[in-house]
Structure 1
């Protein structure tokens, strides 16, 4: 089949795709990814010396390159703190009976399942590294609802306004091999269709004739193609500016790597004693060392002699500087420095919350953005359920609850839970109990429990 130029499709010109791809800056995304995997700038450092007025690389000089993975530590702290426990979906629909709401919750959890919990962790990690990440919604050949993380480096969103409110289209591009050559393949997703393009030998983008239907529908049901009515891509931004966490402490981390590496270089190069010769009768330094080694003596003339010069590295100053850098990395990276001992051996709940204040502030920014993104996921999931089960569920009735993870004083939390009985709902108490991992499962166990456990007298016998 003869390939058609893009001008015959919804995109007016191949140059539009070329311009969009060329203007898509992914350097900060790649940098965040590299730093997470302990590939910081110190690994690229070279040593130089000046010869005849020119800067020349010195391959003989000590060049230790010691990276410290602060970025991974801080990102993993935030991810574990925010989504270490599964996000809870609860239906708060007063227009439906409890049985219908329960069925809706169970259907959502069945479709999303543990795969969603794992994907959410990856989304949080990748978004922290790159500033944003994308989730693609699709229905597979078996008719099952699925989702797939798409690297932000491959996605260019098209919004209807500069406010980035309504997503009108997505351009996704990635490398494929065609006849032994690397080519860029493009997917142009709109609210109802997807069109596939491939780069030809001239660098133009033409319709991909390997697709039997192009443009194609989003999904098929009973062999009929349909569109979602929305672009089936969901953005999970790290913050409003879509900045990587690395932006706020990169220079501090780089300076820490540099100082530790320089210290290692100094320790490798330094000699315990530098010998100063005065009036030595010999002509060669190797002769001097031979005499000193075998005869324990050397010949000097006149007022000659041998002095020694000891070099001292300012270790304490280095240590003080590194300690200050470490403190600032945790401060501006908004993490928890677990080395601190200011709270004692058995800190109270209040002091522990104070220690987590900065991390909570940072995680709360992501939580607000992710909550909106998860609500969009629930819209797609609910649309699927309504089609398959012929229901009329409303995703707006689902409450999304993040259960943040932190070191806590469990005794205090259990006491608070017991004292809250009758003041707030049992479901809220269970959701906040430190021993509960799966709220829905725990509530089911309570319903099936024939004889209630007397928590007040547990273990007294």
Structure 2
């Protein structure tokens, strides 16, 4: 059965409808404030993934208690080790570097279009792609804002997902109606001010929070602001909301939710073991017929006088705590294995990989990471096509040509550990393939075109270094003719 509860988009649209002004498309400031308040829970979930990436797991907030006269009291005397293991960052970095460690390769049949794209794509773009995937893995999604700067150049800006509230239409097309961005800024007096921006398909509206309500932000000369301006100062809009969602997966959720419990259990067990180790330094005394009134008196007598008074048949025994290390290590090993399994990562422990694994074994080792990377790549491809729609619109507006962004081909060059000796041998034995194909599959070659040009130059230099052949007249073999006979 389909759920009867309203979706998140339906709830937002209801807020807009209940607080609508004369416009039936845009919300008023009351509706915007309600959506921001409602977004707080989703924002906290996103920031939890960021916290774990920065090694600030829940174990860091653990407090130990004890009961005194039936009242729960914070225990400041007991050891409270809070050891956090950064499994989440390890798994996210594996995913990011595996899928985007090498730059995305673009290709197009129209050479001029490909030349313009390659001129635009640089190291900053490659770094932005990695940041988008890293933050999408932490939060479930991240946003990219294409814009035209003050000098008339096309540019882009990554916007944190926890600052964006998207509102889509309710059709199957799922186009973005508009989006709200909110963030806090600090002035020179360390006072916090909340800024709010409303992105539509034609303009951007700017607000600022004042006395718990939103008012127009007069820091901007033009409010609302057009998306870009021509040389005459006339403003224009893209016709689409200039915000692009880069989702981590179909559900738009963080990778963390699939293995957070396992990380917390691992951190908890390690921290508890550390607490036990610390407590083992303290001897536990078993008192028998102690004649004193309280334990404080017993410890004072033992520390100062090295003796205590006991009754008839009394005494005390000293005991220490012990940790069942075999059981603890087995449990931790199982947790670690499950973190890699459900985190869909690669456990490159030499005990599991071996010293010289075959490429078949390596492929099997990367199988789960491939599944996770495939899901992210499937979401990033349409997002990149949406981004290049804005880029081609800019090219058309500036008279640099009209191009179809859907014809731009993208190749995600994955970084996988390989057995290079085995791969080189296979390349050398594949003599029935073209030179370009063999070079493309060689583990030492990153740029096939550049390698082919280097080979061509070396071949030309070799030919030029050879001594010239002696000129021979046509029809002769270079030997003197025998004397004619009468």
Against the structure 1 CA distance between its residues 164 and 245, is the aligned structure 2 distance closer, same or farther, given a 3 Å change threshold?
farther
Aligned to 1:222: 231
Aligned to 2:137: 128
Aligned to 2:480: none
1:446 Cα deviation from its structure 2 partner? 5.6
Against the structure 1 CA distance between its residues 286 and 135, is the aligned structure 2 distance closer, same or farther, given a 3 Å change threshold?
same
Residue 30 (str. 1) matches residue 39 (str. 2): no
With the length of structure 2 as denominator, give the TM-score of the two structures.
0.81
* Residue of 150, 153, 163 corresponding to 1:144: 153
Aligned to 1:451: 460
Moved more, 258-267 or 272-281: 272-281
| Distance in 2 (alpha carbons) for counterparts of 1:18 and 1:115 | 35
1:233 Cα deviation from its structure 2 partner? 1.2
Against the structure 1 CA distance between its residues 343 and 197, is the aligned structure 2 distance closer, same or farther, given a 3 Å change threshold?
closer
**Does the residue aligned with 2:278 lie in a helix, a strand or coil?**
helix
Aligned to 1:63: 80
* Residue of 387, 391, 396 corresponding to 2:397: 387
Q: Which has the higher contact order (CA 8 A, sep 6+)?
A: 1
| Distance in 2 (alpha carbons) for counterparts of 1:13 and 1:71 | 40
Aligned to 1:239: 249
* Bigger Cα Rg: 2
1:327 Cα deviation from its structure 2 partner? 0.7
Against the structure 1 CA distance between its residues 172 and 65, is the aligned structure 2 distance closer, same or farther, given a 3 Å change threshold?
same
With the length of structure 1 as denominator, give the TM-score of the two structures.
0.85
| Distance in 2 (alpha carbons) for counterparts of 1:164 and 1:182 | 39
1:178 Cα deviation from its structure 2 partner? 7.5
Aligned to 2:7: none
* Residue of 63, 71, 76 corresponding to 1:54: 71
* Counterparts of residues 58-457 of structure 1 (less than 5 Å): 58-91=75-108, 93=109, 101-161=110-170, 163=172, 165-176=174-185, 181-201=191-211, 203-223=212-232, 224-271=234-281, 273-276=283-286, 284-288=298-302, 307-418=317-428, 423=433, 426=436, 430-438=439-447, 441-442=450-451, 445=454, 451=460
Deviations 1:234-254 (A, max 9, x none): 111000001100000001100
| Distance in 1 (alpha carbons) for counterparts of 2:319 and 2:298 | 20
1:156 Cα deviation from its structure 2 partner? 1.1
CA RMSD, Structure 1 to Structure 2 (Å)? 3.0
**Does the residue aligned with 2:460 lie in a helix, a strand or coil?**
coil
Is the contact between residue 88 and residue 439 of structure 1 (CA under 8 Å) also seen in structure 2? no
Moved more, 384-393 or 320-329: 384-393
Q: Which runs of 5+ in 2 are unaligned?
A: 1-18, 464-486
| Distance in 1 (alpha carbons) for counterparts of 2:172 and 2:462 | 54
| Distance in 2 (alpha carbons) for counterparts of 1:413 and 1:349 | 8
Aligned to 1:457: none
Residue 21 (str. 1) matches residue 60 (str. 2): no
| Distance in 1 (alpha carbons) for counterparts of 2:192 and 2:288 | 68
Q: Which runs of 5+ in 1 are unaligned?
A: 94-100, 455-461
1:196 Cα deviation from its structure 2 partner? 1.6
